[in-house]
Amino acid sequence: MRKASGAGKAVGKIVAYLLIVLLVLGVAGAVFYFVAKQEGVSFYVEYDGTRYYSGINEGNLWLPAGDTYSFSVKSLTEGDVEYDVSVSSFGSNNFAFLLDGKYQQFYGTDEASNDYSEIFGLQKQADGFALTLPEGLTVEKVLEAKYGGDVQLIEEFQKDLPCFVISLVSGESRLSIGFSFEYALVLDSSSIVF
């Protein structure tokens, strides 16, 4: 009889510990939710297992060319989010180029000139969006696709900074995620020694 009552006490202790752990996790979750709301977080974007929270995070991604990338957009309460999304040139990585012989800046004050959403095949759904980066994509090819002319870079862009940024807006909350993709590697065959 004593073995049965000892086992009952052990089970009771385990249940009590589990309830305490669940209570602590619940309180921590509630605190996170209210602190996040105060900081202006109303939604997040999830890509490849990482969450980027509006108003808190700004991310930089490496997206190799030749694939389509899907991102989910969720509110903190896991419901749908009313949001706008676009892809534009990243102002911190501005450079000059020639378009059919005329001098141009990659980033400027004209919003339409900075918008590259169509070039990356941006597709928006209620629960997320997708970008398509064709095989062999380079910054020059993106510029040629946008402007429909011959492009020649006359200034180097900073390869340690993204050239493009995904911008999401939902009410007063904003989120920016910069991205880079595989740049074409040009080798001078005269410098290769076997």
What proportion of the chain, given as a percentage, has pLDDT over 70?
A: 78
From the number of C-beta atoms within 10 Å of its C-beta (0-12, 13-18, 19+), residue 117 rates as: middle
One domain, residues 32 and 100? no
One domain, residues 80 and 14? no
Q: Which domain holds residue 62?
A: 42-191
Nearest CA to 115 out of 150, 145, 136 is that of: 145
Which tops the pLDDT comparison, 124 or 2? 124
What average pLDDT does the segment 16-43 reach?
60
One domain, residues 143 and 107? yes
Question: Which pLDDT score, from 0 to 100, does residue 34 have?
Answer: 46
Instruction: Give me the number of domains the chain comprises.
Output: 2
Which tops the pLDDT comparison, 158 or 122? 122
